[in-house]
Amino acid sequence: MTIYDTIVVGAGVAGLTAARLLSGAGRSVLVLEARDRVGGRVHTQRSDGLVTDLGASWIHGVDDNPLVDVVRAFGMPMAEFTVGSFQPDGRPIAYYGPGGNRLSAADAERFAADVHTVDELLDRTVATSRPGDSYETAVETALAGLDWRPERVERVREFLRHRTEEQYGVWIADLDAHGLDDDQVEGDEVVFPEGYDRLATRLADGLDVRLAHVVGSVRWSHDGVSVTSDRGKFRADRVVVTVPIGVLKSPELLIDPPLPEPLAGAIERLEPNHFEKVVLRFPDRFWDDGVYAIRRQGDAGRWWHSWYDLTDLHGVPTLLTFAAGPCAEAIRTWDDDAVAASVLASLREIYSDAVAEPDHVLVTRWRDDPFARGSYGYLTVGASPEDHDLLATPVEGVLHIAGEVTWSEDPATVTAARSAPDTASPRPSSARRSPSAPSGLDPEESTQAASTWAARNSSQVSVPAGVSEDRLTPAR
Protein backbone atom coordinates (compact mmCIF):
# COMPACT_ATOMS: atom_id res chain seq x y z
CA MET A 1 0.00 0.00 0.00
CA THR A 2 1.31 3.49 -0.88
CA ILE A 3 2.05 5.52 2.21
CA TYR A 4 1.59 9.20 1.39
CA ASP A 5 3.26 12.04 3.24
CA THR A 6 -0.12 13.68 3.70
CA ILE A 7 -3.76 12.88 3.10
CA VAL A 8 -6.01 15.90 2.80
CA VAL A 9 -9.69 15.29 3.55
CA GLY A 10 -11.89 17.64 1.51
CA ALA A 11 -11.28 19.39 -1.83
CA GLY A 12 -12.73 22.81 -0.99
CA VAL A 13 -10.52 25.89 -1.19
CA ALA A 14 -8.81 25.02 2.13
CA GLY A 15 -8.05 21.41 1.20
CA LEU A 16 -6.82 22.27 -2.28
CA THR A 17 -4.65 25.09 -0.94
CA ALA A 18 -3.14 22.80 1.69
CA ALA A 19 -2.48 20.15 -0.95
CA ARG A 20 -0.82 22.66 -3.27
CA LEU A 21 1.39 24.03 -0.51
CA LEU A 22 2.49 20.55 0.49
CA SER A 23 3.00 19.14 -2.98
CA GLY A 24 4.84 22.36 -3.88
CA ALA A 25 7.18 21.56 -0.99
CA GLY A 26 7.84 18.15 -2.54
CA ARG A 27 5.48 16.08 -0.39
CA SER A 28 3.36 13.25 -1.78
CA VAL A 29 -0.23 14.30 -1.20
CA LEU A 30 -3.55 12.57 -1.76
CA VAL A 31 -6.82 14.52 -1.58
CA LEU A 32 -10.01 12.60 -0.74
CA GLU A 33 -13.27 14.36 -1.63
CA ALA A 34 -16.78 13.06 -0.93
CA ARG A 35 -18.53 14.89 -3.78
CA ASP A 36 -18.16 14.32 -7.51
CA ARG A 37 -16.67 17.81 -7.88
CA VAL A 38 -14.08 20.03 -6.22
CA GLY A 39 -14.85 23.37 -4.55
CA GLY A 40 -17.10 22.39 -1.64
CA ARG A 41 -19.02 25.50 -0.61
CA VAL A 42 -17.67 27.31 -3.67
CA HIS A 43 -20.05 25.94 -6.26
CA THR A 44 -21.24 27.47 -9.52
CA GLN A 45 -24.29 26.35 -11.46
CA ARG A 46 -24.11 26.77 -15.23
CA SER A 47 -27.39 26.26 -17.05
CA ASP A 48 -29.16 27.94 -19.98
CA GLY A 49 -26.04 30.02 -20.50
CA LEU A 50 -26.38 31.54 -17.00
CA VAL A 51 -23.76 31.44 -14.29
CA THR A 52 -25.01 31.31 -10.68
CA ASP A 53 -22.87 30.96 -7.60
CA LEU A 54 -24.80 28.78 -5.17
CA GLY A 55 -22.27 29.04 -2.35
CA ALA A 56 -19.80 31.90 -1.91
CA SER A 57 -20.16 34.90 -4.25
CA TRP A 58 -18.15 37.72 -2.75
CA ILE A 59 -14.64 38.63 -1.75
CA HIS A 60 -15.55 40.87 1.16
CA GLY A 61 -12.85 43.50 0.74
CA VAL A 62 -10.01 43.34 -1.77
CA ASP A 63 -7.45 45.45 0.13
CA ASP A 64 -4.55 43.46 1.54
CA ASN A 65 -6.42 40.23 0.87
CA PRO A 66 -4.20 37.27 -0.04
CA LEU A 67 -7.06 35.63 -1.92
CA VAL A 68 -7.09 38.48 -4.43
CA ASP A 69 -3.52 37.65 -5.49
CA VAL A 70 -4.61 34.11 -6.24
CA VAL A 71 -7.71 34.97 -8.26
CA ARG A 72 -5.73 37.58 -10.19
CA ALA A 73 -3.01 35.05 -10.96
CA PHE A 74 -5.72 32.70 -12.22
CA GLY A 75 -7.07 35.44 -14.49
CA MET A 76 -10.55 35.39 -12.96
CA PRO A 77 -12.50 38.52 -13.95
CA MET A 78 -14.03 40.36 -10.98
CA ALA A 79 -16.88 42.84 -10.80
CA GLU A 80 -17.28 45.40 -8.04
CA PHE A 81 -20.41 44.81 -5.93
CA THR A 82 -19.84 46.46 -2.56
CA VAL A 83 -22.98 45.53 -0.72
CA GLY A 84 -22.33 41.95 0.40
CA SER A 85 -21.48 42.78 4.01
CA PHE A 86 -24.81 44.37 4.88
CA GLN A 87 -23.58 47.96 4.71
CA PRO A 88 -26.24 50.60 5.47
CA ASP A 89 -24.85 52.92 2.78
CA GLY A 90 -21.78 53.59 0.63
CA ARG A 91 -23.53 52.44 -2.55
CA PRO A 92 -27.08 53.27 -3.72
CA ILE A 93 -29.68 51.33 -1.70
CA ALA A 94 -33.48 51.77 -1.99
CA TYR A 95 -34.95 51.78 1.52
CA TYR A 96 -38.66 51.13 1.99
CA GLY A 97 -40.10 52.19 5.33
CA PRO A 98 -42.50 50.23 7.55
CA GLY A 99 -45.47 51.72 5.66
CA GLY A 100 -44.14 50.52 2.31
CA ASN A 101 -43.04 53.89 0.91
CA ARG A 102 -39.53 54.55 -0.36
CA LEU A 103 -37.48 56.69 2.01
CA SER A 104 -36.28 59.99 0.57
CA ALA A 105 -32.54 60.32 0.03
CA ALA A 106 -32.32 62.56 3.12
CA ASP A 107 -34.23 60.06 5.31
CA ALA A 108 -32.09 57.17 4.07
CA GLU A 109 -28.98 59.18 4.87
CA ARG A 110 -30.28 59.98 8.38
CA PHE A 111 -31.03 56.32 8.97
CA ALA A 112 -27.55 55.23 7.79
CA ALA A 113 -26.01 57.88 10.08
CA ASP A 114 -27.99 56.39 13.01
CA VAL A 115 -26.56 52.94 12.20
CA HIS A 116 -23.02 54.37 12.17
CA THR A 117 -23.62 56.12 15.50
CA VAL A 118 -24.82 52.90 17.11
CA ASP A 119 -21.97 50.92 15.53
CA GLU A 120 -19.48 53.17 17.28
CA LEU A 121 -21.25 52.66 20.61
CA LEU A 122 -21.44 48.95 19.88
CA ASP A 123 -17.66 48.73 19.46
CA ARG A 124 -17.40 49.86 23.06
CA THR A 125 -20.17 47.65 24.49
CA VAL A 126 -18.71 44.59 22.72
CA ALA A 127 -15.22 45.40 24.00
CA THR A 128 -16.53 45.67 27.57
CA SER A 129 -18.98 42.76 27.34
CA ARG A 130 -18.75 39.97 29.91
CA PRO A 131 -18.09 36.33 28.99
CA GLY A 132 -21.47 34.79 28.23
CA ASP A 133 -22.99 38.00 26.85
CA SER A 134 -24.79 37.62 23.54
CA TYR A 135 -24.59 40.03 20.64
CA GLU A 136 -28.16 41.02 21.49
CA THR A 137 -27.05 42.03 25.00
CA ALA A 138 -24.27 44.18 23.53
CA VAL A 139 -26.71 45.79 21.08
CA GLU A 140 -29.32 46.51 23.78
CA THR A 141 -26.65 48.04 26.02
CA ALA A 142 -25.60 50.33 23.17
CA LEU A 143 -29.21 51.29 22.35
CA ALA A 144 -30.09 51.92 26.01
CA GLY A 145 -27.73 54.91 26.11
CA LEU A 146 -29.68 56.79 23.39
CA ASP A 147 -32.37 59.38 24.02
CA TRP A 148 -34.00 58.79 20.62
CA ARG A 149 -37.72 58.17 20.16
CA PRO A 150 -38.63 54.44 20.18
CA GLU A 151 -39.39 54.23 16.44
CA ARG A 152 -35.93 55.55 15.57
CA VAL A 153 -34.25 53.07 17.94
CA GLU A 154 -36.35 50.22 16.55
CA ARG A 155 -35.20 50.83 12.96
CA VAL A 156 -31.55 50.47 14.02
CA ARG A 157 -32.31 47.46 16.25
CA GLU A 158 -33.95 45.58 13.38
CA PHE A 159 -31.09 46.52 11.04
CA LEU A 160 -28.54 45.02 13.47
CA ARG A 161 -30.70 41.91 13.84
CA HIS A 162 -30.84 41.50 10.07
CA ARG A 163 -27.12 42.09 9.77
CA THR A 164 -26.45 39.33 12.29
CA GLU A 165 -28.65 37.00 10.28
CA GLU A 166 -27.14 37.84 6.91
CA GLN A 167 -23.55 37.84 8.13
CA TYR A 168 -23.70 34.77 10.36
CA GLY A 169 -27.02 33.03 9.68
CA VAL A 170 -28.07 33.07 13.31
CA TRP A 171 -30.58 34.78 15.60
CA ILE A 172 -29.01 37.74 17.40
CA ALA A 173 -29.46 36.23 20.90
CA ASP A 174 -27.65 33.04 19.85
CA LEU A 175 -24.46 34.76 18.69
CA ASP A 176 -21.70 35.63 21.14
CA ALA A 177 -21.09 39.34 21.75
CA HIS A 178 -17.79 38.89 19.85
CA GLY A 179 -19.44 37.01 16.99
CA LEU A 180 -19.08 39.91 14.54
CA ASP A 181 -15.64 41.10 15.67
CA ASP A 182 -14.18 40.28 12.27
CA ASP A 183 -16.88 42.22 10.44
CA GLN A 184 -14.69 44.87 8.82
CA VAL A 185 -14.52 45.21 5.06
CA GLU A 186 -11.30 46.66 3.74
CA GLY A 187 -11.74 48.01 0.22
CA ASP A 188 -14.32 47.17 -2.42
CA GLU A 189 -16.18 43.91 -2.50
CA VAL A 190 -16.12 41.90 -5.71
CA VAL A 191 -18.01 39.00 -7.30
CA PHE A 192 -17.14 36.68 -10.17
CA PRO A 193 -19.13 37.03 -13.42
CA GLU A 194 -17.64 33.80 -14.79
CA GLY A 195 -18.21 31.87 -11.55
CA TYR A 196 -16.26 31.51 -8.30
CA ASP A 197 -15.70 27.79 -8.98
CA ARG A 198 -12.84 28.63 -11.36
CA LEU A 199 -10.78 29.22 -8.23
CA ALA A 200 -11.23 25.63 -7.10
CA THR A 201 -10.73 24.02 -10.49
CA ARG A 202 -7.51 25.97 -11.01
CA LEU A 203 -6.28 25.14 -7.49
CA ALA A 204 -6.92 21.45 -8.21
CA ASP A 205 -4.75 21.47 -11.36
CA GLY A 206 -2.09 18.79 -11.15
CA LEU A 207 -3.14 17.43 -7.74
CA ASP A 208 -4.08 13.82 -7.02
CA VAL A 209 -7.74 14.40 -6.07
CA ARG A 210 -9.97 11.33 -5.70
CA LEU A 211 -13.58 12.42 -6.12
CA ALA A 212 -16.58 10.48 -4.73
CA HIS A 213 -14.53 9.17 -1.80
CA VAL A 214 -16.59 9.67 1.35
CA VAL A 215 -14.27 9.49 4.34
CA GLY A 216 -15.90 7.71 7.29
CA SER A 217 -12.98 7.52 9.68
CA VAL A 218 -9.57 9.01 10.40
CA ARG A 219 -7.50 6.85 12.76
CA TRP A 220 -4.31 8.46 13.98
CA SER A 221 -1.34 7.64 16.23
CA HIS A 222 2.29 8.74 16.53
CA ASP A 223 3.06 6.32 13.70
CA GLY A 224 0.77 7.99 11.19
CA VAL A 225 -2.80 7.88 9.97
CA SER A 226 -5.20 5.50 8.35
CA VAL A 227 -8.10 7.09 6.49
CA THR A 228 -11.05 4.93 5.51
CA SER A 229 -13.39 5.95 2.72
CA ASP A 230 -16.29 4.13 1.10
CA ARG A 231 -13.84 3.28 -1.71
CA GLY A 232 -11.02 1.91 0.40
CA LYS A 233 -8.41 2.63 3.01
CA PHE A 234 -5.40 4.97 2.59
CA ARG A 235 -2.32 5.53 4.77
CA ALA A 236 -0.08 8.53 5.35
CA ASP A 237 2.33 10.09 7.83
CA ARG A 238 -0.12 12.87 8.56
CA VAL A 239 -3.59 14.14 7.71
CA VAL A 240 -5.12 17.56 7.13
CA VAL A 241 -8.89 17.52 7.71
CA THR A 242 -10.74 20.42 6.04
CA VAL A 243 -14.39 19.35 6.35
CA PRO A 244 -16.91 21.98 7.56
CA ILE A 245 -17.76 22.38 11.26
CA GLY A 246 -21.13 20.64 10.77
CA VAL A 247 -19.34 17.54 9.46
CA LEU A 248 -16.72 17.68 12.24
CA LYS A 249 -19.56 17.64 14.78
CA SER A 250 -21.48 14.84 13.08
CA PRO A 251 -21.15 11.15 13.93
CA GLU A 252 -20.67 10.44 10.19
CA LEU A 253 -16.97 11.24 10.46
CA LEU A 254 -15.12 9.32 13.18
CA ILE A 255 -11.81 10.69 14.41
CA ASP A 256 -10.10 8.06 16.54
CA PRO A 257 -8.80 8.66 19.15
CA PRO A 258 -11.16 11.62 19.55
CA LEU A 259 -9.70 15.09 19.18
CA PRO A 260 -8.11 16.26 22.44
CA GLU A 261 -8.42 19.66 24.10
CA PRO A 262 -8.27 22.45 23.16
CA LEU A 263 -9.79 21.28 19.87
CA ALA A 264 -12.71 19.35 21.39
CA GLY A 265 -13.93 22.37 23.38
CA ALA A 266 -13.61 24.67 20.38
CA ILE A 267 -15.71 22.30 18.26
CA GLU A 268 -18.37 22.27 20.95
CA ARG A 269 -18.55 26.08 21.08
CA LEU A 270 -18.70 26.59 17.30
CA GLU A 271 -21.91 25.76 15.44
CA PRO A 272 -22.96 25.50 11.80
CA ASN A 273 -25.47 28.16 10.78
CA HIS A 274 -28.68 28.38 8.75
CA PHE A 275 -28.11 30.50 5.66
CA GLU A 276 -29.57 29.89 2.19
CA LYS A 277 -29.74 31.79 -1.08
CA VAL A 278 -32.97 32.41 -2.97
CA VAL A 279 -32.37 33.52 -6.57
CA LEU A 280 -35.35 34.71 -8.64
CA ARG A 281 -35.21 35.42 -12.38
CA PHE A 282 -38.01 37.52 -13.84
CA PRO A 283 -39.19 38.21 -17.39
CA ASP A 284 -38.89 41.98 -16.70
CA ARG A 285 -37.47 44.35 -14.13
CA PHE A 286 -40.05 45.91 -11.82
CA TRP A 287 -37.73 47.28 -9.14
CA ASP A 288 -35.79 50.49 -8.68
CA ASP A 289 -33.13 51.39 -11.20
CA GLY A 290 -29.57 52.19 -10.30
CA VAL A 291 -29.47 50.58 -6.86
CA TYR A 292 -27.33 47.76 -5.56
CA ALA A 293 -29.97 46.60 -3.06
CA ILE A 294 -33.54 47.10 -1.90
CA ARG A 295 -34.22 46.95 1.83
CA ARG A 296 -37.54 46.79 3.68
CA GLN A 297 -37.94 48.15 7.20
CA GLY A 298 -40.53 47.26 9.84
CA ASP A 299 -42.41 44.06 10.67
CA ALA A 300 -43.04 43.32 7.00
CA GLY A 301 -39.28 42.79 6.60
CA ARG A 302 -38.94 40.32 9.44
CA TRP A 303 -37.86 37.49 7.09
CA TRP A 304 -37.41 38.95 3.62
CA HIS A 305 -35.87 42.38 4.00
CA SER A 306 -33.05 42.65 1.49
CA TRP A 307 -32.86 41.98 -2.23
CA TYR A 308 -29.69 42.32 -4.30
CA ASP A 309 -29.94 43.27 -7.97
CA LEU A 310 -27.86 40.78 -9.98
CA THR A 311 -29.31 41.82 -13.34
CA ASP A 312 -26.12 43.23 -14.82
CA LEU A 313 -24.11 40.31 -13.54
CA HIS A 314 -26.47 37.61 -14.84
CA GLY A 315 -27.62 39.39 -17.99
CA VAL A 316 -31.33 38.82 -17.15
CA PRO A 317 -33.53 40.50 -14.52
CA THR A 318 -32.45 38.74 -11.33
CA LEU A 319 -32.87 39.33 -7.61
CA LEU A 320 -30.99 37.52 -4.85
CA THR A 321 -32.30 37.35 -1.30
CA PHE A 322 -31.22 35.30 1.70
CA ALA A 323 -33.10 33.05 4.09
CA ALA A 324 -31.00 33.45 7.21
CA GLY A 325 -31.23 32.40 10.85
CA PRO A 326 -34.82 31.73 12.03
CA CYS A 327 -36.23 32.24 8.52
CA ALA A 328 -33.88 29.59 7.07
CA GLU A 329 -34.76 27.20 9.89
CA ALA A 330 -38.49 27.69 9.28
CA ILE A 331 -38.40 27.19 5.50
CA ARG A 332 -36.20 24.12 5.71
CA THR A 333 -39.19 21.83 5.15
CA TRP A 334 -40.87 24.05 2.52
CA ASP A 335 -40.62 23.27 -1.17
CA ASP A 336 -39.18 25.85 -3.56
CA ASP A 337 -42.62 27.02 -4.72
CA ALA A 338 -43.66 27.81 -1.16
CA VAL A 339 -40.43 29.72 -0.56
CA ALA A 340 -40.90 31.69 -3.79
CA ALA A 341 -44.53 32.50 -2.88
CA SER A 342 -43.41 33.88 0.48
CA VAL A 343 -40.68 36.04 -1.10
CA LEU A 344 -43.05 37.29 -3.81
CA ALA A 345 -45.68 38.26 -1.24
CA SER A 346 -43.06 40.48 0.44
CA LEU A 347 -42.00 42.02 -2.86
CA ARG A 348 -45.68 42.74 -3.68
CA GLU A 349 -45.97 44.71 -0.44
CA ILE A 350 -43.49 47.11 -2.05
CA TYR A 351 -44.10 46.88 -5.79
CA SER A 352 -47.71 45.55 -5.75
CA ASP A 353 -48.96 44.22 -9.11
CA ALA A 354 -45.77 45.09 -10.96
CA VAL A 355 -44.23 41.90 -9.52
CA ALA A 356 -44.47 39.24 -12.22
CA GLU A 357 -44.19 35.51 -11.67
CA PRO A 358 -40.52 34.53 -11.87
CA ASP A 359 -39.31 32.42 -14.80
CA HIS A 360 -36.95 30.59 -12.54
CA VAL A 361 -36.45 30.14 -8.78
CA LEU A 362 -33.47 28.60 -7.11
CA VAL A 363 -33.29 27.81 -3.38
CA THR A 364 -30.10 26.39 -1.88
CA ARG A 365 -30.18 23.67 0.78
CA TRP A 366 -26.72 23.78 2.35
CA ARG A 367 -27.98 22.89 5.81
CA ASP A 368 -29.28 19.56 4.52
CA ASP A 369 -26.23 18.82 2.38
CA PRO A 370 -24.46 15.94 4.16
CA PHE A 371 -21.02 17.29 3.21
CA ALA A 372 -21.69 20.86 4.39
CA ARG A 373 -24.36 20.59 7.15
CA GLY A 374 -24.63 24.38 7.20
CA SER A 375 -23.19 27.29 5.30
CA TYR A 376 -20.44 28.25 7.76
CA GLY A 377 -19.64 28.34 11.45
CA TYR A 378 -20.52 30.95 14.11
CA LEU A 379 -19.52 31.63 17.72
CA THR A 380 -22.20 30.43 20.12
CA VAL A 381 -22.77 32.51 23.26
CA GLY A 382 -19.78 31.87 25.53
CA ALA A 383 -17.41 31.06 22.65
CA SER A 384 -14.50 33.32 21.78
CA PRO A 385 -12.82 34.30 18.49
CA GLU A 386 -9.79 32.41 19.84
CA ASP A 387 -11.78 29.21 19.38
CA HIS A 388 -11.11 29.42 15.65
CA ASP A 389 -7.38 29.43 16.34
CA LEU A 390 -7.61 26.68 18.95
CA LEU A 391 -9.21 24.42 16.38
CA ALA A 392 -6.10 24.86 14.24
CA THR A 393 -3.82 23.47 16.96
CA PRO A 394 -1.79 20.65 15.39
CA VAL A 395 -2.32 17.32 17.11
CA GLU A 396 0.96 15.52 17.81
CA GLY A 397 2.36 16.70 14.46
CA VAL A 398 0.11 14.13 12.79
CA LEU A 399 -3.33 15.65 12.51
CA HIS A 400 -4.30 19.19 11.56
CA ILE A 401 -7.78 20.65 11.25
CA ALA A 402 -7.89 23.39 8.60
CA GLY A 403 -10.74 25.12 6.75
CA GLU A 404 -12.80 28.26 7.00
CA VAL A 405 -13.70 27.79 10.66
CA THR A 406 -10.06 27.62 11.84
CA TRP A 407 -9.14 31.18 10.86
CA SER A 408 -10.11 33.92 13.32
CA GLU A 409 -9.41 36.98 11.20
CA ASP A 410 -12.03 36.35 8.50
CA PRO A 411 -13.84 33.16 9.47
CA ALA A 412 -16.78 31.99 7.37
CA THR A 413 -15.18 33.14 4.13
CA VAL A 414 -13.21 31.87 1.16
CA THR A 415 -10.42 34.19 2.31
CA ALA A 416 -10.29 32.15 5.53
CA ALA A 417 -10.30 28.88 3.59
CA ARG A 418 -7.38 30.18 1.50
CA SER A 419 -5.46 31.37 4.59
CA ALA A 420 -6.13 28.63 7.14
CA PRO A 421 -3.81 26.01 5.61
CA ASP A 422 -0.87 28.42 5.97
CA THR A 423 -0.83 27.87 9.69
CA ALA A 424 0.19 25.10 11.99
CA SER A 425 -0.53 26.54 15.39
CA PRO A 426 -2.60 29.22 17.12
CA ARG A 427 -1.38 32.64 16.13
CA PRO A 428 -1.11 35.82 18.11
CA SER A 429 -3.47 38.32 16.45
CA SER A 430 -0.56 40.40 15.17
CA ALA A 431 0.89 37.42 13.29
CA ARG A 432 -2.30 36.03 11.80
CA ARG A 433 -1.51 36.95 8.23
CA SER A 434 2.10 35.80 8.27
CA PRO A 435 2.66 32.57 6.39
CA SER A 436 3.34 29.70 8.72
CA ALA A 437 3.20 26.00 8.09
CA PRO A 438 0.69 23.36 7.18
CA SER A 439 0.72 20.53 9.71
CA GLY A 440 4.06 18.96 10.28
CA LEU A 441 6.19 21.54 8.48
CA ASP A 442 8.75 23.52 10.42
CA PRO A 443 8.96 27.30 9.92
CA GLU A 444 11.77 27.04 7.37
CA GLU A 445 9.89 24.50 5.33
CA SER A 446 6.84 26.65 5.70
CA THR A 447 8.52 29.65 4.13
CA GLN A 448 9.75 27.38 1.39
CA ALA A 449 6.26 26.05 0.87
CA ALA A 450 4.87 29.55 0.69
CA SER A 451 7.48 30.61 -1.88
CA THR A 452 6.90 27.45 -3.86
CA TRP A 453 3.22 28.30 -3.78
CA ALA A 454 3.93 31.77 -5.13
CA ALA A 455 6.35 30.41 -7.73
CA ARG A 456 3.87 27.80 -8.90
CA ASN A 457 1.20 30.39 -9.26
CA SER A 458 3.28 32.73 -11.29
CA SER A 459 5.00 30.10 -13.46
CA GLN A 460 2.14 27.68 -14.09
CA VAL A 461 -0.66 30.14 -14.50
CA SER A 462 -0.67 32.32 -17.53
CA VAL A 463 -2.05 35.68 -16.62
CA PRO A 464 -3.89 37.24 -19.55
CA ALA A 465 -2.87 40.78 -20.38
CA GLY A 466 -5.03 43.33 -18.63
CA VAL A 467 -5.94 41.18 -15.66
CA SER A 468 -5.62 43.26 -12.52
CA GLU A 469 -7.20 46.54 -11.47
CA ASP A 470 -8.72 47.12 -14.89
CA ARG A 471 -10.76 43.91 -14.61
CA LEU A 472 -12.41 45.32 -11.50
CA THR A 473 -15.32 46.60 -13.48
CA PRO A 474 -18.54 47.55 -11.73
CA ALA A 475 -21.23 44.86 -11.75
CA ARG A 476 -23.73 47.49 -12.89
Ligand X SMILES: Cc1cc2nc3c(=O)[nH]c(=O)nc-3n(C[C@H](O)[C@H](O)[C@H](O)COP(=O)(O)OP(=O)(O)OC[C@H]3O[C@@H](n4cnc5c(N)ncnc54)[C@H](O)[C@@H]3O)c2cc1C
404 belongs to an annotated ligand binding site: yes
Euclidean distance between CA atoms 100 and 146, whole angstroms? 26
Tell me the window of 93-101, 150-158, 352-360, 372-380 that interacts with ligand X (CB under 6 A).
372-380
- 59, amino acid identity: I
For residue 9, the tally of other CB atoms under 10 A from its CB is 27
Which of helix, strand or coil describes residue 205?
coil
Which of helix, strand or coil describes residue 95?
strand
Q: Which of 242, 297, 321, 446 binds ligand X (CB under 6 A)?
A: 242
CB of 323 to ligand X, least distance (A): 10
Tell me the window of 5-13, 112-120, 153-161, 203-211 that interacts with ligand X (CB under 6 A).
5-13
Name the residue among 208, 205, 233, 204 with its Cα closest to residue 219.
Answer: 233
Do 323 and 339 contact (CB within 8 A), yes or no?
A: yes
CB of 284 to ligand X, least distance (A): 27
Ramachandran quadrant class, 209 (left: phi over 0; alpha: psi -120 to 50; beta: rest): beta
Tell me the window of 37-45, 177-185, 263-271, 285-293 that interacts with ligand X (CB under 6 A).
37-45
Nearer to ligand X (CB atom), residue 111 or residue 322: 322
Do 193 and 71 contact (CB within 8 A), yes or no?
A: no
Residues in 264-283 that interact with ligand X by CB under 6 A: 275, 277
Position 185 contacts ligand X (CB under 6 A) = no
Q: Which of 115, 143, 253, 347 binds ligand X (CB under 6 A)?
A: 253
For residue 150, the tally of other CB atoms under 10 A from its CB is 8
CB of 179 to ligand X, least distance (A): 15
Q: Which of 20, 35, 238, 432 binds ligand X (CB under 6 A)?
A: 35
Euclidean distance between CA atoms 433 and 262, whole angstroms? 22
Position 358 contacts ligand X (CB under 6 A) = no
Position 13 contacts ligand X (CB under 6 A) = yes
Nearer to ligand X (CB atom), residue 118 or residue 417: 417
215 belongs to an annotated ligand binding site: yes
Ramachandran quadrant class, 323 (left: phi over 0; alpha: psi -120 to 50; beta: rest): beta
33 belongs to an annotated ligand binding site: yes
Q: Which of 23, 164, 375, 452 binds ligand X (CB under 6 A)?
A: 375
**Residues counted in the chain:** 476
Nearer to ligand X (CB atom), residue 229 or residue 457: 229
Q: What are phi and psi of 22, to 5 degrees?
A: -70, -45
CB-based contacts of 168: which residues, under 8 Å, 6+ apart?
Answer: 175, 179, 180, 273, 275, 376, 378, 412
Burial class (CB in 10 A: 0-12, 13-18, 19+), 261: exposed
Euclidean distance between CA atoms 19 and 164, whole angstroms? 33
Position 413 contacts ligand X (CB under 6 A) = yes
Euclidean distance between CA atoms 389 and 412, whole angstroms? 13
Q: Is-cis flag, bond preceding 262, omega within 30? A: yes
Position 403 contacts ligand X (CB under 6 A) = yes
Tell me the window of 6-14, 293-301, 343-351, 383-391 that interacts with ligand X (CB under 6 A).
6-14
Position 371 contacts ligand X (CB under 6 A) = yes
Position 227 contacts ligand X (CB under 6 A) = no
Q: Which of 304, 307, 366, 378 binds ligand X (CB under 6 A)?
A: 366
Q: Which of 19, 22, 25, 42 binds ligand X (CB under 6 A)?
A: 42
Chain centroid to Cα 432, Å, comes to 18
Residues in 60-119 that interact with ligand X by CB under 6 A: 60, 84
- CA triple 184-447-28, angle to 5 deg: 110
Euclidean distance between CA atoms 150 and 67, whole angstroms? 43
Tell me the window of 4-12, 120-128, 330-338, 381-389 that interacts with ligand X (CB under 6 A).
4-12
Nearer to ligand X (CB atom), residue 25 or residue 203: 203
CB of 154 to ligand X, least distance (A): 29
Position 55 contacts ligand X (CB under 6 A) = yes
Binding-site residues from annotation for substrate: 322
Binding residues for ligand X (CB under 6 A): 9-15, 32-35, 40-42, 55-58, 60, 84, 214-215, 242-244, 247, 253, 275, 277, 364, 366, 371-372, 375-376, 403-404, 412-417
Binding-site residues from annotation for FAD: 33-34, 215, 404
